[in-house]
Structure 1
Amino acid sequence: ENAEWLARMAVDETKFGIFEDKVKKNLFSAKNVYNYIKDMKTIGILNEDAGQKVIEVGAPMGVVMGIIPSTNPTSTTIYKALVSIKAGNAIVFAPHPNACRCINAAAQVVHEAAVKAGAPEGVIGCLSKVTMAATNELMHHDDIAVILATGGPGMVKAAYSAGKPAYGVGAGNAPVFIERSANIKKAVSDIITGKTFDNGVICASENSILVDEPIKDKVVAELKAQGAYMLSKEEVEKVSRAVMTPKGGMNAALVGKGPKVIANKAGINIPEGTRVLIAPLEGYGPGFPLSYEKLTTVLAFYVVKNWEEACRLAIELLNLMGAGHTFAIHSQDDDIIREFIRKPVSRILVNTPSSLGGIGLTTGLAPSLTLGCGTMAGSSTSDNVTPMHLINIKRLAYRIDDCIDAPSNTCAGNDINPDKIADIVKQVLLGLGKTNDN
């Protein structure tokens, strides 16, 4: 019941997404997240290593500040409240101005449930009047121990600049590669399902399709059969101007909108029942606006000669926008799948809708609506954030060895061999190259 009226409130207030899918996201946060964390040990003794005589003890961080976006407002509020409470923390929410009412309502629902279960009054709070000054003041408040930031790049950067520990997320823009061995019908179904879920507002949703050249015609035919509309070159230009801004950002009015709304805005005609718009592109970057992140029902489309070219193009797209976030592949060739482990992302999703796999709904990843992007995107974690990220771990360590006297002279003097140092540096650089190549 709460899942439905909160979803309706979110759609009515933000004008983003699909009511039925927001209900599913609310239930995902309330059920999937809960089932994943309910038996998780977070406070007190977590682990005892009898051999090493080390005891690990979990302790709450304190008060969490939860920054909530307008794209997934109620589900993210429920999720952040659960992981914070499970870690023994209180949480105060800073809503997006365009979703303030529904975020406050979700916070109130979870607060009432928490108090009923025995939590203290005030364990969950929320700003009722949202201004930049109020959000900034909350970020810098002495009682805030850690910031859990989900939102636009500016807000995430502000969180990291507040002088507090913070978990932020980077932009999406996930490429998805359909390799020649893939089950084409299933791959296309998964991609359209992932992109159209809540009209594409999940940051892990598919943004560009990379198709292996030998199966291009079959993929295009299957896309059309499953409700995709292939844009002409002229239509790509019109949709680009409607959906994207000159600087590569999205037109906020078309975030989370269906193809018909986008087509009307762009001044093009599409068939009834169209589920997603496909934009064939010949490049990426400023001259190709649709190569950037699109939190709506539009997908860029590229043809590549082989998996090696797919690797190179995926890296270019991710470096353009979305480094550290998510990449998806549809393939039956495990050797090729494993080649993509080296891509600059935190999640490589295989044979699954990217949006749903990234948040842990269709994969074994931790169910989460805060997806870290690692140092590749300036984030402090590459994980799907869980209660374990919101605790401090103390270690009680007993003496197990006698002291060993250090040598009286530990200085190497003039015995340093420059050739050996050069060789060590070369080996390290080669290792880094293997990690980041392809």
Structure 2
Amino acid sequence: MVSSTQVSQRQDTPDARATVASLVARARAAQVEYEHYDQKQVDEVVTAVAWALVHPERNRRLSELAVETTGLGNVEDKITKNRRKTMGLLRDLQQAKSVGVIQELPELGLVEIARPVGVVGAVVPSTNPAATPTNKTINALKGRNAIILAPSPKGQAACTLLLGFMHAELDRVGAPRDLVQQLPTPVSKATTYELMNQVDLVVVTGSQNNVRSAYSSGTPAIGVGAGNVPVIIDESADLDDAARKITASKTFDNATSCSSENSLVILDAVYEQAIAALERNGGVMLTADEKRQLEEAMWIDGGLSRHIIARKAPEIAQIAGLKRPELQSATFFMVEEQHVGKDYPFSGEKLSPVLAVYRAGDFDRAFEQTRRLLDHQGKGHSCGIHTDDDAHVRRLGLEMPVCRVIVNQAHAFANGGNFDNGLPFSLSMGCGTWGKNSISDNLNYRHYLNITRISRTIVPNEPTTEDLFGTYLNKYGLASS
């Protein structure tokens, strides 16, 4: 996932320290008051803040402002994303305990008690300047924390408007406004780094520069990894179903999601039929010359062009000077690729309705091609497969270095939780140690909690030497001294 970089190196000034210290002091005062809320009161606050975005008129205003100021995505899809992600998160949290005793295990003599982490600093990207801060805020408030948002420069206007809506809802339920704050305009690298330094927990979604800065701040931090989703289509797939889902996912919000498909790895046996199915859904395969022309327009000095990111396919065609009539009405573009690496930029994340397409002789080759793509970029994040062969699914789960394997679903919708799967609704995907992250699941409310455990004595459960070593010693005998 790419966003405007807020922090590239440690920078601080006395003014930045003082500015952030004032915000943190206000947040701590509000959090101390909020910590005394019971579960019912907390859930009311969470619902209020969610309504700040789900309210239809506010959602539209925020979506329009987000597209206007960031130039990323499209209004109608952002409206859908804002509502769906927030509604799904509220569903996940309805029965979740986050205050007081949350679990009792009498057989172990343990009682688990949820405690706040304190003040959270949340760095959020320009790709989702309303949905992501709302998601983080709801999760933080569910744990009786305060939160201070650090939006990207492009996303700041939308985040500021969102904060105003949240404050209005906090007023309605009588909760302290300072539970949710934002760095002052304009957000700078210095204030963002100071936020990371002064809060109790940092959660970062966005550029990997920001993630690395959070990890080096000295504050406990949760960062997420880069996406570069490869999806396999094998010989048992329902090709029309796969094509519809891939199209819906790849074109949603002009592919701003880090969970959008970036490469398809299609088995030889169904390659031509799969491409035809994708073409029936509006995809257009570029010629070799068109591919070269698009590459020159999409990558400038080794980086994705801001003029291409999150644009509709016909707009990309115009920017790249692609004249073929079919391209002016295309839903997305496909480019055939064989190689992987920095010299082959289509093998990486594209943040646009452009798919790299690889051809594989069999599933073993498709598996290895998928691994190469992830080793290049996106390791730990996720992969997908369209198949009716559970052995293929199981192998991906057992061997592929990813935290999520999405089966027969539209990847961008499913990966961050959907109403028809069991993943937690989130806009922040942990990538485990493969992606240099501290978590391997979808960022959720439990990551914003401390857990205190009360331990009482139980009937002793002490094993004998025979219990633990009997089988081993019977097989190998005693070791010589």
Using the size of structure 2 for normalisation, the TM-score is 0.82
Whole-angstrom distance in 1 between the partners of 2:138 and 2:356: 36
Alignment partner of 1:122: what SS?
helix
Whole-angstrom distance in 2 between the partners of 1:420 and 1:316: 46
Whole-angstrom distance in 2 between the partners of 1:53 and 1:245: 61
Segments of structure 2 that go 5 or more residues without pairing to the other structure are 1-56, 466-476
Quick one: which amino acid aligns to residue 308 of structure 2? Answer: L
Alignment partner of 1:47: what SS?
strand
Give yes or no for contact 2:115–2:450 (8 Å, CA) kept in 1: yes
Whole-angstrom distance in 2 between the partners of 1:252 and 1:132: 20
- When residues 35 and 405 of structure 1 are mapped into structure 2, their CA distance, relative to the original with a 3 A threshold, is closer
Matched, 1:264 2:264: no
Whole-angstrom distance in 2 between the partners of 1:41 and 1:377: 30
Whole-angstrom distance in 2 between the partners of 1:48 and 1:269: 66
Q: Which residue of 2 aligns with 1:284?
A: 340
Quick one: which amino acid aligns to residue 428 of structure 2? Answer: T
Give yes or no for contact 2:74–2:253 (8 Å, CA) kept in 1: yes
Quick one: which amino acid aligns to residue 257 of structure 1? Answer: R
Question: What does residue range 284-363 of structure 1 map to in structure 2 within 5 Å?
Answer: 284-341=340-397, 342-361=399-418, 362-363=420-421
Give yes or no for contact 1:78–1:110 (8 Å, CA) kept in 2: no
TM-superposed CA distance for 1:133, in Å, is 0.9
Q: Which residue of 2 aligns with 1:216?
A: 271
Alignment partner of 1:395: what SS?
strand
Give yes or no for contact 1:244–1:290 (8 Å, CA) kept in 2: no
Q: Which residue of 2 aligns with 1:66?
A: 122
- When residues 237 and 47 of structure 1 are mapped into structure 2, their CA distance, relative to the original with a 3 A threshold, is same
After superposition, the C-alpha distances for 1:147-197 in whole angstroms (9 at most, x for unaligned) are: 110111111111111111111111100001111100000101111111100
Whole-angstrom distance in 1 between the partners of 2:329 and 2:463: 78
After superposition, the C-alpha distances for 1:259-315 in whole angstroms (9 at most, x for unaligned) are: 112111211124242100101012111221110111111110000011111110111
Q: Which residue of 1 aligns with 2:189?
A: 132
- When residues 299 and 120 of structure 1 are mapped into structure 2, their CA distance, relative to the original with a 3 A threshold, is same
- When residues 405 and 332 of structure 1 are mapped into structure 2, their CA distance, relative to the original with a 3 A threshold, is closer
After superposition, the C-alpha distances for 1:104-149 in whole angstroms (9 at most, x for unaligned) are: 11122223223422422210001131111111111111xx111110
Whole-angstrom distance in 2 between the partners of 1:289 and 1:352: 26
Whole-angstrom distance in 1 between the partners of 2:463 and 2:239: 66
Matched, 1:381 2:439: yes
TM-superposed CA distance for 1:246, in Å, is 4.4
Q: Which residue of 2 aligns with 1:192?
A: 247
Quick one: which amino acid aligns to residue 235 of structure 1? Answer: E
Q: Which residue of 1 aligns with 2:470?
A: none
Q: Which residue of 1 aligns with 2:62?
A: 6
Q: Which residue of 2 aligns with 1:400?
A: 458
After superposition, the C-alpha distances for 1:307-362 in whole angstroms (9 at most, x for unaligned) are: 11111011100010000001010001112211110211111000011111111125
Q: Which residue of 2 aligns with 1:415?
A: none
TM-superposed CA distance for 1:406, in Å, is 12
Whole-angstrom distance in 2 between the partners of 1:384 and 1:353: 17
Q: Which residue of 2 aligns with 1:45?
A: 101
User: Cα RMSD between the aligned structures?
Assistant: 2.0
Alignment partner of 2:101: what SS?
strand
Give yes or no for contact 1:258–1:275 (8 Å, CA) kept in 2: yes
Quick one: which amino acid aligns to residue 80 of structure 2? Answer: K
Give yes or no for contact 2:60–2:79 (8 Å, CA) kept in 1: yes
Greater CA deviation, 175-184 or 121-130? 121-130
Whole-angstrom distance in 2 between the partners of 1:89 and 1:101: 24
Question: What does residue range 44-193 of structure 1 map to in structure 2 within 5 Å?
Answer: 44-129=100-185, 130-141=187-198, 144-193=199-248
Give yes or no for contact 1:104–1:128 (8 Å, CA) kept in 2: no
Whole-angstrom distance in 2 between the partners of 1:293 and 1:242: 15
Give yes or no for contact 1:87–1:390 (8 Å, CA) kept in 2: yes
Whole-angstrom distance in 2 between the partners of 1:364 and 1:113: 30
Quick one: which amino acid aligns to residue 409 of structure 2? Answer: T
Q: Which residue of 1 aligns with 2:449?
A: 391
Give yes or no for contact 1:29–1:78 (8 Å, CA) kept in 2: no
After superposition, the C-alpha distances for 1:83-117 in whole angstroms (9 at most, x for unaligned) are: 11111111000010111110111122223223422
Whole-angstrom distance in 2 between the partners of 1:19 and 1:49: 48
Matched, 1:225 2:277: no
Give yes or no for contact 1:285–1:320 (8 Å, CA) kept in 2: yes
Quick one: which amino acid aligns to residue 47 of structure 1? Answer: Q
Give yes or no for contact 1:315–1:344 (8 Å, CA) kept in 2: yes
Using the size of structure 1 for normalisation, the TM-score is 0.90
Q: Which residue of 2 aligns with 1:243?
A: 298
Q: Which residue of 1 aligns with 2:10?
A: none
Alignment partner of 2:201: what SS?
strand
TM-superposed CA distance for 1:404, in Å, is 7.5
- When residues 153 and 405 of structure 1 are mapped into structure 2, their CA distance, relative to the original with a 3 A threshold, is closer
TM-superposed CA distance for 1:28, in Å, is 1.9
Aligned residues: 408
TM-superposed CA distance for 1:420, in Å, is 11
Alignment partner of 2:381: what SS?
strand
- When residues 405 and 193 of structure 1 are mapped into structure 2, their CA distance, relative to the original with a 3 A threshold, is closer
Aligned match of 2:260 in 205, 220, 243?
205
TM-superposed CA distance for 1:43, in Å, is 1.8
Give yes or no for contact 2:107–2:458 (8 Å, CA) kept in 1: no
